[in-house]
Amino acid sequence: MERTGISFLLNWLKSSNRLPLVIRGARQVGKTWIVRHLAQLEKLRLIELNFEDQKELASTFSSNDPTIIVKNLEDILGIEKIEPRKSLLFLDEIQAVPELYPKLRWFAEKMPELPVIAAGSLFEFIFKQDHEPLSMPVGRVEFMYLEPLSFEEFLLAKEKKQLVRLINSYTWSQDIPTITHTTLLSYFKEYIIVGGMPAAVKKWVIEQNLVEVSRIHHNILATFKGDFHKFAGRMDSDLLEQTMERVPVELGKKFVYSTVSKDVQVPAIKKSLDLLCKARLCHKIFSTAANGLPLHGEVNEKFIKAIFLDVGLCSASLGLSLVGIKSVQEIALINSGGIAEQVVGQLLRSMQPLFIDPELYYWLRYEKKSTAEIDYIIQHEAHVLPIEVKAGEAGTLKSLHFFMGLKKLSSAVRVYSGMPLRTPIKTKDPYEKSVSYELMSIPFYLISQMNRLVNE
């Protein structure tokens, strides 16, 4: 299958000031595959070390001299001379031996001609050690953040390149034929069921069997739970499992820690969610005042929502049967539309440049008789952009009208299952004050084009 991350890796590989690259992402999002694919494309000799399976290989890095390290690798692996410019050194599951992470700086300084990539499914834990912190190679490494497959990557896996070209080239002046719109929504329904985990997508493309896809999903979830013992000393594995299973249930709502367990104190549950987010299995959505940029500067940590890593896994965790759904419009019947918020949040994360660790925000005005909420708030260039998610084609926009009047913004986005539309809004907020702005209604399948369409 095609991953857009390959372009990022090719640019990194050919960069004149290349540094060792660290790929960060959850287990089974395709980190190992994409590195192997890069080596194959560029005809590089791949020196792959998996420290989870072969922790003893860490001894080959005892020196701080890359020349000695490379010689050690030749000897221990029994391979011929490694030519740095024709090779790719891949340190997989590096979190199993965190003391190796600082060694990356020596490759940057003493052997820059050898491309080096490190990756790990629990890599985030290197940065939060319980013991004495490691000496980090600040300024000597660069990062790539890998998410599950986007909707376009899903279409490419299904060999629907023409539809991807249509998505990438669509402008407001175009009319999308009804049959094309219906077809894209149908494929988006598939994406909601299958999700973006590479193993599930591959199984679906080859066999078109939802039972087998479900089996893959549950195997992945079991693998995640099997990893919890690696959090030893940090958190009880049962509490981690309870918290992970609660996130899909609470989609679209404020995450209330006490709903996880009434027998466990809130600080412990809060820590368990933090750990799951560090493992990139879940993602917090922070409440922001949205008065300006940066959005993180006005976060209220008392109010958070959360989404899961992947919409397909999310549905599997909920035990939902999506097979009988006939159209995307019916998503609203499931989990009060929470699945729609999940998939939009997931795709908003995949819109970010791969060198940025994506964050999500929403807006909440909480008063007893006047609560208003905007599903997502993003930064669009130098502006604040609100996004409302509607699972179907209809739905009130009272909160959006209020927000737009309060913040005096000129543009807003609605993600829904209808046709693309640009609509001038002239209305009144709940206090009878006039509100006017442009509403850009974007179908689910055009989420990736949001920034470009807003610019138009």
CB atoms within 10 A of CB 449: 19
DSSP 8-state symbol, 132: S
Burial class (CB in 10 A: 0-12, 13-18, 19+), 139: exposed
Domains of the chain: 5-145 (3.40.50.300), 152-455 (no CATH)
Cβ neighbours of residue 119 under 8 Å, at least 6 residues apart? 22, 23, 24, 25, 31, 32, 35, 90, 91, 92, 93, 94
Q: Scan for tokens 């949040």, then name that residue.
A: 345
pLDDT digit string (tens) for the chain, length 456 residues: 789 999 999 999 999 999 999 999 999 999 999 999 999 999 999 999 999 999 999 999 999 999 999 999 999 999 989 999 999 999 999 988 988 999 999 999 999 999 999 998 777 666 555 444 556 677 789 999 999 999 999 999 999 999 999 999 999 999 999 999 999 999 998 999 899 999 999 999 999 888 899 999 999 999 999 888 876 566 788 999 999 999 999 999 999 999 999 999 999 999 999 999 999 999 999 999 999 999 999 999 899 999 999 999 998 888 776 566 655 556 555 555 789 999 999 999 999 999 999 999 999 998 776 789 999 999 999 999 999 999 877 778 999 999 999 999 999 999 999 999 999 999 988 778 899 999 999 999 999 999 999 998
CA 39 to chain centre: 24
Kind and range of the H or E element at 441? strand 434-443
What radius of gyration do the chain's Cα atoms show? 23
* Strand duo 434-443 + 421-428: pairing: antiparallel
User: pLDDT at position 147, please?
Assistant: 97
> What stretches of 111-253 show up as alpha helix (H) in DSSP?
151-157, 161-169, 178-194, 198-207, 210-227, 237-249
Alpha carbons 285 and 278: distance in angstroms, whole number: 14
Residue 429 to residues 370, 394, 403, 404, 411, Cα–Cα distance (Å): 12, 19, 9, 9, 16
Q: What is the pTM of this model?
A: 0.92
